[in-house]
Structure 1
């Protein structure tokens, strides 16, 4: 029987991948889950699963460190929100590299291949290169980050980047406010800014980034400036150094 573990520091992400795998591959037995790299390493050593679906950015140890340090014959598939570590995936002989949010069709093709993979099979580097090239093409779009998986209470909502009204820093998380969505994602505002289209998203405050499409009006009260956004009840303050961005509005 083929077995697998799932490692991701977000419980919602583990649940979503587990449900997708159960639907596409009922015979695959998920024998363990981990929320950090150290726990993932321990599971691989103890259970010796056939496959390990690893997030890359995890506490303790990254998925890359887990993959490079494993001694079992477990084959690795990376599942991550960023493509910045694609080259390292080659170095640890990953079977594949999936970009979040994982598309059902993309995962179905991978499952079909993993079902017939022999234990001693070598990595198909040509296939992996094709996958990485596809990711590279995808990230050359106007905005590298296309979809967000936003935690709203006990649910995970899929939100396209164009539907985001604004981002607001919230300690180690980032609040995401969109049309009928108000939740959090586990990325810092700095990490997000590197993935956003600067022509569309503008930083209005040290902890706030706004989608220009949703700016309805600019309100000035002496030295204070606030933005009124379409469909959003609250107004956002603009820091003094950023006033010049909105004076013409």
Structure 2
């Protein structure tokens, strides 16, 4: 059974969406409902739903920011508990917002307009079913009546396209947000150095520190990957693992090891970077 979570700060909107989903997807199980973005992240981590319906504007933590945090939750081999969770589909709920709707229409992620109308929701459900079937290697459902074949179908959560879209939407929702990082202040031995972000080849995090690697310098900062995702320009950096970001201009190539894992080679550095299963879609055809 496919499991879903609904997040909206308006109870009537949650009730209405649940009722509409019951009409167009009766076998879908709603495992939890969240009243804000923080609850949405916590309940996603607890219940591991297959789909999360997120209101784009919620108090405390917006749906966009919640989606970015949900994309960082451990999946499959990334989980220290070994949880067998492949991640989830994100579907945004929004009142009409021209910027957001135009972005969603590009096909990177799906959306439902408030109040949820049956026909539009059915289109979303068909798209989600096809993506989930394709990811599982099974036959995908055909297009809904009147819907175009899925040439530009929305993409899964772990893609640079979605990360870039979420970053743009976050700026739209919070125009006063600080500009993207241009310099990294990092410890190199006993000194502090200012490292231009463009010179960074990759970032790798452990529990306490993040390693900042350039062609000539290895430095440490006390900033986790999830914070760097908020501060870096995601058109320049790709996340290839929950603990790794790589400068796209530093990618020399991608190969597979004997276990079938994708391995990124870095220009000007001997480090080999593993691509986790959640992000293998980044390098299609490998």
Q: TM-score range by the shorter chain?
A: 0.3 to 0.5
Instruction: Report the structure number with the largest CA radius of gyration.
Output: 1
Larger RCO (alpha carbons 8 Å, 6+ apart): 2
Q: Which has the higher strand share?
A: 1
